[in-house]
A and B are shown apart, each in its own frame.
Chain A
Amino acid sequence: MEKANNDLIKWKNIIFEKLGALFGLLFLVIVLSFISPYFLTVNNITNVLQQASINALVASGMLLAILTAGIDLSVGSVLALSISIGGLSIVNYGINPVIGILIVLAVGAAAGLTNGLLLTRLNLPHPFISTLGMMNVARGLALIITNSSPVSGLPGWVQFIGSGYIGQIPFSFILVIAVVVFFHFFLNKTTLGRHIYAVGGNPEAARLSGIDTKKVLTWVYTISGLMAAMGGIVLMGRVNAAYPNAGLSYELDAIAAVIIGGASFLGGVGTIWGTLIGAMIIAVIRNGLNLLGVAASLQTVVLGTVIIVAVYIDVLRRKKA
């Protein structure tokens, strides 16, 4: 009896806490399919999934930072720097594209590692500072090494990552699902994953429990950089070019996805599924507004409003609990 009761509570929690954003997404889909007959076509849905995928990848890394009550402002710039270096090595230096892609990931992870070390070794007061610095440095480096111009001409399979399909499903979205499943497992079943929640929930308690909080934070920012680079690979494949201005203001979309997905800015609360849904909500709104012929400038206004409303609903829900 008690067990059944516990299970009930558990499921109630999951539905209301974790999937609140899912209801929002379903609501949007239903409304949009009534307003625009084109919305619920296969073509359009695959388009939306593709649109969501880069942000979903970048936001996965951002989720980790926000779970530890931190933030990573550098993801957009790190994305640009990673693909710039990777793109140049493949196109200008003739390096094997497979190694080139690994270079992209390595640069992202290295930039993230630097973020983490700045935060934990120099004891900078908040990741806002370390990643704000990295945001500027990485962008500048990307512009310098590319001479401010795009690098194009990538092999077909790289383009496939960004714009290919398997059946009706964009390959980039399959990549996203794989990443999300991996993150779900990582965050819930591994020591490091649980320590991320612990550090975000109460850093002092985590430290007193013998957790190396600095190591945890260093990992978090390293993974965030890696995920930014992975988003970069998809972007590079889609436009068949690496360009130094790629990923401008991506950090804002990523933060929005994480927050709409129910994560708490105070740390310790949030799920990868929520973040995925958050990224999809943003893509659906952009897509819907496009279909309705709303100007890009007004779209920004709507998106901003959605972020505020999503968090406000969260505030109301917490008050009730």
Chain B
Amino acid sequence: MGETFLKIENITKTFPGVKALDNVNLEVKKGEIHVLIGENGAGKSTLIKILTGLHQPDSGKITIDGKEIKENNLRTALDNGIIPIYQELNLIQQLDVTENIFMGREIKKNKKLGIIDRKYMEERTSDILKRLNQDISPTAKIQDLGVGKQQMVEIAKALSVDVNLLILDEPTSSLGEDEVNELLKTMEKLKEQGVTMIFISHKLSEAKRIGDRVTVLRDGQYVSTNNIADVTEEDIVRDMVGRDIDEQYPKIDIDRGEEVLRVENLKRGKIVNDISFSAHRGEVLGIAGLVGAGRTELVRTIIGADKKDSGDIYINGRKVEINHPKDALEEGMVLLTEDRKTQGLFLDQTVKFNIVSSNLNKYKKNILLDLKQQAADTEKYVSNLKIKTPGIHTKAKQLSGGNQQKVVIGKWLNTSAEIFIFDEPTRGIDVGAKVEIYNIINELIGQGKSVIMVSSELPEILGVSDRILVISEGKLTAEMDVKEATQEKIMSAATVS
């Protein structure tokens, strides 16, 4: 380490209405893992897109290996060995590992006719996978692999070319604990092999564990660069949000109210295997477990998104028949799905459309809809939830992840729901926005509502919940009060089989 590989100086980029980057600097040294951190909208993604040639900067200078880069596009960035691994995996599900790894750069037996040398490509693939210590078949279809393995294929894809700088954009956000560990180990291995990396993550613990240096961006501006060893997590958070966050988990104490939801012997195949529990007003019920343990399936079955095989659900002591999410909504129970982009939002529609979408009946005035009331309600939620948006007519896809999540929350607040089920509510969201979401959760239970929260992050489960359920392989393996819960207790219950 020591020599500078990449230098970005005074980069500015403006989009209509937003200054995404304002005189930003970044210096990455050869062989280091450089953590890039910042809240949503801080400009990390834009900076990466400029580096990879997807966007062109308005002004500023990029120097790679001492040479100034005048024109940067997808092709030249690839030629310079700058390889991004985006947050949303960009693999083609229907094709196999080898084809994905060599996509766009197929090795040809016959150049003119474009005939592919399949055998050679498979051998190369297997070599690269070996280098990553991965037991993945070069002929496996992507859709048959888990998310963690798919990530490894993305990394293998990057290694199949002469990679000089590997950019990992929040690679751990959709991974379970084991997979995260494996990924971090792989990154360490790559570092030993001399690969330079930019690592974008919201998880400070990961940054501390693996990074060499950290650069913080805030609101499109450069804040600081430090050696990781010289700073604490608190220092980094302060730089990110521009103020001290007193508590990462602002927990309020509410007296637990009466039971509002009771689930008895719920079954769906093997993935929801005879589960019974109850949820109360004024409490947050955390559901912990490994990825794939059946937590998402459990909550989906409860609200009728998936069909149950058997079991009963009681709301306020009354047995209810829920066969469709609309039945659940009528009973005052809503689910914020784990994947907001595909299941929670109408991305091409406006903030207003999204917020009023689940409760259009509320706006029926004779036969028409009361558009003024819709706008007024939307404004209310935008301000209450502190949704950062240019306006209520802005399209949902233009907002950052945390703000999109708040729009989904606004959508459900705009109903008469009493039971809120949050499935991974803070996935892919930065620290500041997380705290805001926890505050919204607090407000809900303060109003005597009930919150059920599924989360893969143990500190979050411990910091936010009042009571914790642990699911392992479709079964309920532990139930504990947060006061007696520890990470170790939860993990041991989560790995019972």
Contacts and interface: CB of A to CB of B under 8 A. Distances in A.
B300 to A, nearest CB: 16
A305 interface: no
Nearest to A203: B92
Interface string A172-192: 000000000000000001111
Nearest to B91: A205
B106 A194 contact: yes
B114 A205 contact: no
A198 B116 contact: no
Question: Most chain-A CB neighbours within 10 Å: which of B94, B95, B139?
Answer: B94
Interface string A262-280: 0000001100000000000
B486 interface: no
A210 interface: yes
A194 B95 contact: yes
Contacts of B190: none
Given A6-B139, A210-B75, A202 B92 contact: yes
A196 B118 CA distance: 17
Contacts of A200: 94
Interface string A31-66: 000000000000000000000000000000000000
A121 interface: no
B103 A211 contact: yes
A208 B116 contact: no
Interface string A188-220: 011110110110111011101111000000000
Contacts of B95: 194, 197-198, 201, 268
B86 A208 contact: yes
A208 B92 CA distance: 11
Nearest to B139: A6
Contact of A268 (B94, B116, B139): B94
Given A194-B99, A209-B103, A189 B90 contact: no
Given A194-B99, A198-B103, A210-B75, A269 B94 contact: yes
A2 B95 CA distance: 20
A190 B92 contact: no
B74 interface: yes
B18 interface: no
A191 B137 contact: no
Nearest to B108: A191
A201 B108 contact: no
Nearest to A6: B137
A206 B116 contact: no
A201 B108 CA distance: 22
B139 to A, nearest CB: 7
Question: Most chain-B CB neighbours within 10 Å: which of A190, A201, A209?
Answer: A209
A10 interface: yes
Contacts of B16: none
B93 A201 contact: yes
Contacts of A6: 137, 139
Contact of B94 (A191, A197, A208, A209): A197
A189 B78 CA distance: 25
A209 B139 contact: no
**Which are the 9 A-B pairs with shortest beta-carbon distances?**
A210-B104, A205-B90, A209-B104, A201-B92, A209-B103, A191-B114, A268-B94, A201-B94, A190-B114
